[in-house]
Chains A and B, each alone.
Chain A
Amino acid sequence: MKELTIIEAGRQERHYWRELWRYRELFQVLAWRDLSVRYRQTAIGAIWALIRPFLTMVVFTVVFGHIAQLPSEGSAPYALMVFAGLLPWAFFAGGLAEASNSLVQNASLINKVYIPWLIVPTATVIVTLVDFLISFVILLALLLWYQFLPGWRLLLLPAFVILTFAISLGPALWLTSLNVRYRDFRYVIPFVIQLGLYVSPVGFSSAIVPADWRLLYSVNPMVGVIDGFRWCILGGQLYLPGLAMSLGVTLFFLWLGIRQFRRMEKSFADLI
């Protein structure tokens, strides 16, 4: 007995998630495509993924650590603290930027063929995950340089990586589906990311935020993740209410993003 598909106006896909699972290979293939294309015809290839975070770290250390004389976290060197925050931030910002443009860039995948389109932005976030792993090499080098030995908590780092992935995916889904119709968002996203860099505790420790304001500050989900990264790498105290808040906000945005995406998905081909 063959499978029956019913196409009807306003019909909700019954097997949405099952279908997504069926296309899991396409997910891999798209991620692999973006990866292998990423640094083709560049002179120094993947080294770009090292240069950018490294220079950002140097500038932030000089500006926040030396000129503004902000305190580091515990005994950790300032550069190391900056980099531990920069890692998840770059992952988040890269993922958000790439995924938000993914549908528009893959227009022919939208209006010439049917695939579960949720795959497209998700696969692009994976690509920035690879950049993240490359930048991780710098972190190892810094740890060696400062002779800083992280504890057992480093093993919990993958959990925070997944959380970062979720943080960027939620808004990315929302933005990428809106971007199909309103290209205005192309101009909004770089601005938001730039602003976010200063709002999030990348160049400084979140410990300098007054205690009364700390929970409110954690509404920005990146606060919880950056704190988590620093806790894993540098040690110290983890501010748990902040992490819980971050988790809650992330789940809310993820739900919102998926809902918006599924609602608009059907008309993508007519709009793009």
Chain B
Amino acid sequence: MNNPQTARLNRWLVISGFGFFALLMFTAPGVVKMVVLSALLAYIFDPLVTAIELRGLGRTASTCIFFLFVTSACWILFLLVSPLVMAQLEALRTGVSTEQTAGFILRLQAVVRKNFAFLGLGNVDLAERIQEIGISASGKIIDFIVEEGPTLVVYAVAVPFMIFFLLKDGREIKKALISVVPNKYFEFSLDLAYKMDVQLGNYLRSQFLDAVTFGVLSTIALWILGVKYFLVIGLFAGLANLIPYVGPVAGALPAIAVCLFDTGDITKVFQVVLAFVALKLLDDSVIQPTLVAKGVNLHPLLVLLAIIIGGEMFGILGMILAVPATGFVKVVFQESLVTLKKYGFRED
């Protein structure tokens, strides 16, 4: 490595690698999104493959068994749950205009006309407005399915494919990346990579477990309360819980909307709000302290900025991935500083 030409070439290799990644981020954000998503999921599932490896199997065989198991589980779940989900989605699309809903809308219209006439809402036709919004929303959903359908298919094929190879060859990929590091920084980089691996793995896995737990609990709560489409809303609430601050509210809103439009019963709305508040308290005081790694505490402002930037760059998936990505950057900085202090590079 003392050879200056080799060192320069190596530096250029690393810089061009970063440059290529940055270029990809702006020209093909979809690919970056896919790679990041696959890498995160591979990170989350890695201990499961290692657990299979513990039975004396090779990495490839363990990854194959894991995939076989996951694929079968997903297929069974799909067969069991999809008719219910599809039925709930279909009902969600068509069944909002029941008599009770119409009654509720009329009452709401009277209140608005009476109290907000000074805002020019004296003759507002709420039923018509809601219908307009409904038509525009369903149009948007259909547009989204038509436009994003092929992309979703690509995701459904490419993401599992990437996860498989990341799980199977993850160690070799890490080794190959470390081999590019100059000798002077080799042990430092290796030390840093191992520490980040532990911290980041714990963080991502705990976030994933937290989201799953919250999703399951909200589904159960909504089912007990007799809220329609509890499965779809519960799943959404679990996923939304990955986004701090905004997530829990975003998860509760569909449930409230369904209660309002389905029954028009304010008591039920209060019950749903109370259930979500209780679940969030349970999440904050019991689930998160038990599951979520304590190492990555992000400042609320930083989280909010990350969510906005993630949303701007990659949409909803960007918002979900923004927090783990910020956690990753924070772990990199934290561990780099600690490890740098330990090594204190000298001039040779």
Q: Do A and B come from one complex?
A: no
